């Protein structure tokens, strides 16, 4: 190959074809070096200062007569495309056939995925209540203040809102208070939405992701999962609530588990209770995981407050539905809620809630 660009004696078609044919042969011969040194090939032909394409442009194109510039330009672009194609083409592998399929080679093993431990725990809890006749409901994570707070007996500026400090959506100041959007702090808004759109009897379970402005530590996360339940009908009593949760805890943790209820406070239930189960690790004898009490606090519950039924009735009236079906004089109900992470930590002996969100395969593969 000559380093200097040869002189172009004429601009007729035959001379141009012969001259560019010679350059194409040079490209073909020099492309053998691409497999070992592609950068040298690129600089030889496409270098900005001394690349052969630049030299060809200066020697042949700049001084060409006007009528010859078009055929020259066409052949110049074709040569450039040939060079770029040589650079992009994969080099043939030495000693390996490039055609055909070797069926004796081992195949690629696709390892099956596994469900996340939070998902399996959520599904296990939902299944227990589905076997009791409950149906599943879902709802949006971005909620209005009315459905997340007001309808659940959290009036504006009520101290109870401090326990559910939420993440607000920006630019909501111009809206009425009830219509301002936020990230839901519990799945209870789905209870309200269901009662607004459906008449009793209701038996629903509501799994989902919730958000709170909490600092992350071993037992808290600003994003976590809840499962809530709601039962509304005539003659529903606190005994029905206790029997339902006692059965559910035995189904989840074993028939030997016992439950006990302590008075508590939730704005949307009255009376309200916290539910504890006997420690599944020490069988109630007392250990480090139950803080040597023999009991583990697991969830909250209570009878639906009549103020919630009143809020539902007002919303049904506003939307044009029958506003008499949730009359507290003849309708009662109970609700309960539990954290999925809390149950998963107990079932699997996990001490740090952050491990569920870390994406560490060494942790997650334990549940395969």
Is the four-CA dihedral 162, 168, 172, 176 of positive or negative sign? negative
Q: Measured between alpha carbons, how far is 24 from 283 in angstroms, rounded to an integer? A: 85
Q: Is 320 helix (H, G, I), strand (E, B) or coil?
A: coil
Q: Measured between alpha carbons, how far is 251 from 184 in angstroms, rounded to an integer? A: 29
Neighbours of 204 (CB within 10 A): 20
For the question of whether the overall pTM of this predicted structure is more than 0.85, the answer is no
Phi, psi of 336 (to 5 degrees): -150, 160
CB crowding 67-89: b at 16 or more within 10 Å, else e: ebeebbeebbeebbebbeebeee
Tens place of pLDDT per residue across the chain (368 aa): 445 777 788 888 888 888 888 888 888 888 888 888 888 888 888 887 788 888 888 888 887 888 888 888 888 888 888 888 888 876 555 444 455 677 787 878 777 778 899 999 999 999 999 999 999 999 999 999 999 999 999 887 767 666 667 788 888 888 988 899 999 999 999 999 999 999 999 999 999 999 988 888 888 888 999 999 999 999 999 999 999 999 999 999 999 999 999 999 999 999 999 999 998 888 778 888 788 888 999 999 999 999 999 999 999 999 999 889 999 999 999 999 999 999 999 888 888 898 998 888 888 888 87
User: Residue 209 in contact with residue 224, Cβ under 8 Å?
Assistant: yes
């Amino acid at each position: 190959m000559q380093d200097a660009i040869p002189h172009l004696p004429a601009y007729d078609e035959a001379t141009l074809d012969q001259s560019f044919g010679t350059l194409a042969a040079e490209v073909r011969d020099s492309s053998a070096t691409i497999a070992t040194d592609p950068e040298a090939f690129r600089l030889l032909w496409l270098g900005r200062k001394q690349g052969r394409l630049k030299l060809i442009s200066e020697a042949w194109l700049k001084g060409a007569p006007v009528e010859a510039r078009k055929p020259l330009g066409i052949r110049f672009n074709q040569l450039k495309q040939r060079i770029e194609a040589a650079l992009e083409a994969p080099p043939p592998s030495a000693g390996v056939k490039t055609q055909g399929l070797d069926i004796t080679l081992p195949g690629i093993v696709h390892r099956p995925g596994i469900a996340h431990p939070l998902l399996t725990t959520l599904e296990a809890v939902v299944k227990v209540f589905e076997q009791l006749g409950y149906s599943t409901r879902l709802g949006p994570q971005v909620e209005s203040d009315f459905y997340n707070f007001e309808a659940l007996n959290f009036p504006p500026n009520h101290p109870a809102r401090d326990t559910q400090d939420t993440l607000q959506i920006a630019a909501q100041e111009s809206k009425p208070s009830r219509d301002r959007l936020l990230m839901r702090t519990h799945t209870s808004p789905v209870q309200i939405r269901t009662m607004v759109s459906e008449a009793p009897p209701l038996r629903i379970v509501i799994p989902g992701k919730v958000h709170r402005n909490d600092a992350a530590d071993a037992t808290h996360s600003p994003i976590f999962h809840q499962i809530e339940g709601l039962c509304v009908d005539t003659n529903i009593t606190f005994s029905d609530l206790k029997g339902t949760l006692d059965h559910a805890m035995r189904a989840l943790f074993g028939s030997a588990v016992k439950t006990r209820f302590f008075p508590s406070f939730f704005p949307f239930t009255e009376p309200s209770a916290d539910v504890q189960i006997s420690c599944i690790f020490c069988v109630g004898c007392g250990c480090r995981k139950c803080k040597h009490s023999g009991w583990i606090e697991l969830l909250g519950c209570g009878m639906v407050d009549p103020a919630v039924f009143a809020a539902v009735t007002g919303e049904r009236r506003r939307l044009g539905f029958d506003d008499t079906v949730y009359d507290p004089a003849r309708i009662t109900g109970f609700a309960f809620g539990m954290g999925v992470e809390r149950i998963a930590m107990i079932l699997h002996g996990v001490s740090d809630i952050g491990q569920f969100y870390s994406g560490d395969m060494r942790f997650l593969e334990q549940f395969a």
